[in-house]
Amino acid sequence: MAVNIGLKLFKRELTPKDIVKKSREDRFLAREIINGIFTDFVELHGDRLSGDDTSVIGGIARLNDQPVTVIAIDKGVDIHDKLSKRNGSPEPWGYRKAQRLMQQANKFHRPIVTFINTPGAFPGKTAEAQGQGEAIAQSILLSMKLTVPMIAIIYGEAGSGGALALATSDQVWMFQNSTYSILSPEGFASILWKDSKRSDEAAALMGLTPKDLLEKQVIDYIIPESRNHPRVFSLIRKRLDNEFKQLNSLTPEELMKQRRARFRAF
Amino acid sequence: MDLYNNDKSTSKIKRAESVNERIPDGLFLACPYCGTQMYNKQLGAYRVCANCGYGFRLQARERIELLTESFDELDADVTMTHPDFPGYADKLQRAKDQTNLGESVLTGVATIKEQRVALGIMDSYFMMGSLGSMTGEKITRLFEHATSNRLPVVLFTASGGARMQEGMNSLMQMAKVSAAVAEHQEAGLLYLVVLTDPTTGGVTASFAMQADITLGEPHALVGFAGARVIESTIHEKLPKDFQRVETLLKNGFVDDIVPRPELAEKIATLVKFHQVTEE
């Protein structure tokens, strides 16, 4: 069902290089998005195992009248905040917090919305020792077993497995100026050509723009952006409401089957 | 002065050219883990370092010989048909020629010490075992076959991670295989992983870390991020065995480390514990 509130996509087409640049600017902040779309947000902390990763914000909120579980990767606001959140690179206990909240949502039959903006999972010493790979692997596996609807929204960068961990959902949407890729263009160029300076060239080749990914059916919808943030949030709210109504009309088994089939197609 | 002007740059003693032909390549090897130099034949059939027990990297078909009594290959013809990325087609062809495989994983139904299992073996000689869309396809089909035939899955992982040349399609394989793992799990069937050298990146962040039981070969490198990436992010040198399977065991991410010659027996024992009684 189309929701149109007068926002238009692509007034002028940006090159992949420009979109990469824009996706890394703080155009939208995690808390601004959460408070803009939902009401009564209550934040919940910790993974009950090893700590609380503040780069992953999680909690319960209302989408119009319906309770939903919200999980968002946050890059932080000022420099100290950004440093402590490693510019939005979650630690394993961030993903495990997300898993805990997903399981909670499943128990109480609440739909899940995730917001993603990360260069990737944090490549740190503690992260590795605490099983970064295992944390992502289990997030993906758990997402495949959920019987509640789940929609992932990419609002900045979405790099690699660290983004996929929260994007194995029924639908994936992207903001108009966001990217989703296997690796950063810098990393891609460095692996393939041993030269990270060729990142612009890599960006053009990687097919990481919303338009490319919609064509490949990696994502389902592009969210038009506007300087008028409340308009963007209102569009997302209406669309989420619509899509959750449709997804809720499926039985849990149908829903799970459909989600698995979505990824089986690749 | 003649004494000093005598040009001796062309030696009168000629080396017999035939020497090079008589000494074959690879006669002496250094263990990639402990550095011990050894005579090729010292490695034995299992190709294990006599000093530290490290298992040298094997091709998938070599491992089949060492591990199984019988092997019926599945999906042998599954291969990437449209390698569009610049230079990808050549790389792929070279990998195929070298390994005698269509993709970076070999799958089939095998007998290991009389136990029937669905067996997958990733091959690090095939584009570093990278996770291409057809690698994901073959592993997904292996799980689907195992689920509908009620077989346990035994998977040997070896991978440098995602296949850059395939971009997002490679990333999506992590989710695709995970969905097949979920269905196999829900059917109450055993999934056993053996981590071999090296298992990293997207494979570690998906099906390598989703098994019921996770074994590892001695000193295998297992991790998510590359050591160089970590070092340049945190600006410190990592300890020597940081991403080795022994450290993962200590940190609680591996059930046991099994020397290569004992693997078949161990796998068979574990599979027997989970035998599904036919109704």
Contact A264 B140 (CB under 8 A): yes
pLDDT at A1: 44
| ipTM of this predicted structure | 0.94
List, for residues B166-183, the tens digit of each pLDDT value.
999 999 999 999 999 999
In chain A, % of residues over pLDDT 90: 88
Query: A-chain residues within 8 Å CB-CB of B252?
Result: 131
CATH of domain B58-273: 3.90.226.10
List, for residues B98-134, the tens digit of each pLDDT value.
999 999 999 999 999 999 999 999 999 999 999 999 9
Contact B201 A144 (CB under 8 A): no
Q: What angle is formed at CA A142 by the lines to CA A125 and CA A109, rounded to 5 degrees? A: 130
Query: A-chain residues within 8 Å CB-CB of B186?
Result: 145
Query: B-chain residues within 8 Å CB-CB of A144?
Result: 175, 178-179, 181-182
Nearest CB to A136: which of B136, B180, B205?
A: B205
Contact A266 B204 (CB under 8 A): no
> Is the pLDDT score of A41 beyond 50?
yes
| Residue of A62 and B28 predicted with greater confidence | A62
Kindly identify which residue of chain A lies nearest to residue B200, measuring between CA atoms: A133
Could you tell me the residue ranges of all domains in chain B?
Answer: 11-56, 58-273
Q: Which burial class, exposed, middle or buried, applies to B10 when counting CB atoms under 10 A from its CB (0-12, 13-18, 19+)?
A: exposed
Nearest CB to A266: which of B176, B208, B243?
A: B176
Contact B175 A136 (CB under 8 A): no
Q: What is the mean pLDDT of residues A247-261?
A: 96
Kindly identify which residue of chain A lies nearest to residue B132, measuring between CA atoms: A266
Threshold 0.80, pTM exceeds: yes
pLDDT at A196: 83
CATH of domain A49-264: 3.90.226.10
Kindly identify which residue of chain B lies nearest to residue A137, measuring between CA atoms: B206
pLDDT at A92: 98
pLDDT at A8: 67
Q: How far is CA A135 from CA A26, A173, A237, B145, B162, in A?
A: 27, 23, 30, 27, 17
**Position B1 confidence tier, pLDDT thresholds 50, 70, 90:** low
A interface test, pick of B168, B200, B245 with most A CB neighbours within 10 Å: B168
List, for residues A77-107, the tens digit of each pLDDT value.
999 999 999 999 999 999 999 999 999 999 9
Contact B183 A260 (CB under 8 A): yes
Contact A161 B136 (CB under 8 A): no
Contact B162 A182 (CB under 8 A): yes
**Position A13 confidence tier, pLDDT thresholds 50, 70, 90:** confident
Q: Which of A10, A7, A68 is nearest to A38 (CA)?
A: A68
List, for residues B212-232, the tens digit of each pLDDT value.
999 999 999 999 999 888 988
Contact A182 B251 (CB under 8 A): no
Q: What is the mean pLDDT of residues B194-218?
A: 97
Q: What is the mean pLDDT of residues B44-58?
A: 94
List, for residues A62-84, the tens digit of each pLDDT value.
999 999 999 999 999 999 999 99
**Token output for B105:** 């994983």
Return the exposure string of A62-97: e unless at least 16 CB atoms fall within 10 Å of the residue's CB, then b. Answer: ebeeeebbbbbbbbbeeeeebeebbbbbbbbbbbbb
Contact B238 A125 (CB under 8 A): yes
Query: B-chain residues within 8 Å CB-CB of A130?
Result: 251
Could you tell me the residue ranges of all domains in chain A?
Answer: 49-264
Kindly identify which residue of chain A lies nearest to residue B141, measuring between CA atoms: A264
